[in-house]
Amino acid sequence: MAQIMMMTLMVGPEGKILEKHIGIRDAIRKNFDEGTPPAVAATHVAAALMSYAIEQDDDTVRKQIVEQLLAQWSVLGPAEQREISRQLTGGTLNQDMLLTRCQWLLIRGQDLLMEEKIELHDFRILKDSIYGPLKGEPSNTRMLDRVDEALDAAFGPRV
């Protein structure tokens, strides 16, 4: 936790959320204290940060639009999805920054998944931490849904 806090001192006031938000604090403690691989830990921390940022946005219309655009983007092929990265680095991207952040995290998560640095479960947590708050779903509901999915995967669907 101390190393994360040191690294985020220059982030600005938003960096203080690392200490105050229980989900972020727990993700950091759980992942780093238990020796979780750095890519997995970073994915969980990024998921918690993104979830919090989306939940703090009171503009439900904006979130609905971003969710729709993100859904449209998600069905594109990998090369088309990555065009966002090229436009961002080239300074030609003209879209809502919330959408850009979501796309960026999903691309990075896909990369980590393809490189086998995270598991599918970790990527699902990241996706859920983006799509869930965009849809207005509370975090406790999303967590219970993931537990149900994991149980179904392990033991089969309930009858």
Report the pLDDT value the prediction gives residue 7, as an integer from 0 to 100: 39
Calpha distance 149→159 (Å, rounded)? 14
Answering whether pTM is above 0.85, one says: no
Buried b / exposed e along 63-85 (16+ C-beta atoms within 10 A):
beebbebbeebeeeeeeebeebe
Which two structure tokens, joined as six digits, stand for 124? 């699902």
Report the pLDDT value the prediction gives residue 110, as an integer from 0 to 100: 92
CB atoms within 10 A of CB 110: 17
Report the pLDDT value the prediction gives residue 68, as an integer from 0 to 100: 97
| Mean pLDDT per 10-residue section of the chain, whose length is 159 residues | 46 60 73 79 82 88 96 93 86 89 89 93 92 87 63 66
Report the pLDDT value the prediction gives residue 145, as an integer from 0 to 100: 63
Q: How far is CA 47 from CA 29, 34, 58, 129, 131, in A?
A: 14, 18, 19, 5, 11
Report the pLDDT value the prediction gives residue 60, as an integer from 0 to 100: 95
Q: What is the DSSP letter of 9?
A: G
Report the pLDDT value the prediction gives residue 69, as an integer from 0 to 100: 96
